[in-house]
Structure 1
């Protein structure tokens, strides 16, 4: 049976698509209650939910046809900076001006949902952030793909984790972590222990905080490029950071995910005139 969905984070507001410069006013000192409200505002105003037209990874409404389903998805077909891409070592450049991403993660309560096409984890409060090129982006959610969407030298890995961040203007920055078979991933064990096998109407609370910093690879050599969302509307101007060193999950963990989602990845897209920079 086919499953169709539109991820909540994937249909961005018109202000993002047009590169608008509107800003949200935030209090300089926020209470925990205010922080929860701010997260809700991001979900409801900057990342809008839409239900039609539906799309999937299969057949007539799969990746090859996304751009035909609705005018708002035209970037999926006509965009020049689409993601994912194949990262070839010979094409990676170094830049003295480009600094590594500053990651500010701490143990946080999460809930998870089976959206119909991925497992997505949502933070209870906006306590995790990254700084990219001097701008702060707050973690909105993270989710998984199998096999990996990005390639290294034309090779897929078993899975890929995307940590999606958003700034106050609705612009996005994503950290991509490649996943390969190895030892059990203890950081994700609490999530894997309650993986919903079918689409959920309500989030499932994770009983213990998830420490995303412990999830990151020890070697944080990374690749940076300008790309897009990897699902409709395929909006561009997304700042991508993909770590070179994979993290590990056990064979059992990978199989548990693949039994729910056998294949939920978009094929790699043309690089065109873009540059890929490596940072050690």
Structure 2
């Protein structure tokens, strides 16, 4: 597992939901991911495939920045293929590893023909040893954030691509969970990359300039769910 970017930070998560869990909502997200999970062979049951670059629309929502990015990538899990619809950010990260957050987490939301959802979470962090190291994936859309002055502002990019950034090569945690925003619908197939992406302080500040408040949901109880670490290489 790779988590080499330093300075993860520890926050106090409100875990009161664990003691007072709704009996009908037992598979909620996000969760804490333990680093001591033993990796297992992929056996062709998971893949993330970036497709040809496609246009994207970047929009200011009140609590996140969302990029509508249809058919930019495919997720295949246990023989079922999901196609990208959008990606959005949470800062700090919603998922944690051993109780520690990263600066930011992108959620790449995919759906299949029946409307079932699968989400890939990717961590981003400012490396204290290289705070000026720009992330080339973020460089495709972050420079336009100055256009997002208020909710509903948006702009269009002719091409957005996930090719060549290594998202498809990283090992992933796999588990069954939910949306992390209301109505917290369950039945979401979650994958969370173990490869932490570097970003610059300027890039992180650009997110915070648009969405000033922290926008993460505290980790939820695992409630005995299986958490697998899948080798993708």
TM-score normalised to the size of structure 1? 0.67
- Partner of residue 177, structure 1: 122
Query: SS where residue 141 of structure 1 aligns?
Result: strand
- Partner of residue 236, structure 1: 186
- Partner of residue 4, structure 2: none
User: 1 CA distance for matches of 2:216 and 2:155?
Assistant: 24
Runs (4+) off by over 4 Å? 75-78, 95-98
Query: SS where residue 46 of structure 2 aligns?
Result: coil
Matched residue count: 208
Gap change, CA 1:228 and 1:105, over 3 Å in 2: same
- Larger relative contact order (Cα-Cα within 8 Å, sequence gap ≥ 6): 2
- Partner of residue 187, structure 1: 137
Query: SS where residue 214 of structure 1 aligns?
Result: coil
User: 2 CA distance for matches of 1:256 and 1:201?
Assistant: 17
Gap change, CA 1:88 and 1:214, over 3 Å in 2: same
Q: What is the CA RMSD across the aligned residues, in angstroms?
A: 2.6
CA contact (8 A) 1:217 1:246 kept: no
Higher helix share: 1
- Partner of residue 11, structure 2: none
TM-score normalised to the size of structure 2? 0.80
User: 2 CA distance for matches of 1:149 and 1:254?
Assistant: 16
In structure 1, stretches of 5+ residues that fail to align are 1-62, 67-74
Aligned: 1:266 with 2:211: no
In structure 2, stretches of 5+ residues that fail to align are 1-13, 128-132
Q: Which has the larger radius of gyration?
A: 1
Deviates more, 1:184-193 or 1:86-95: 86-95
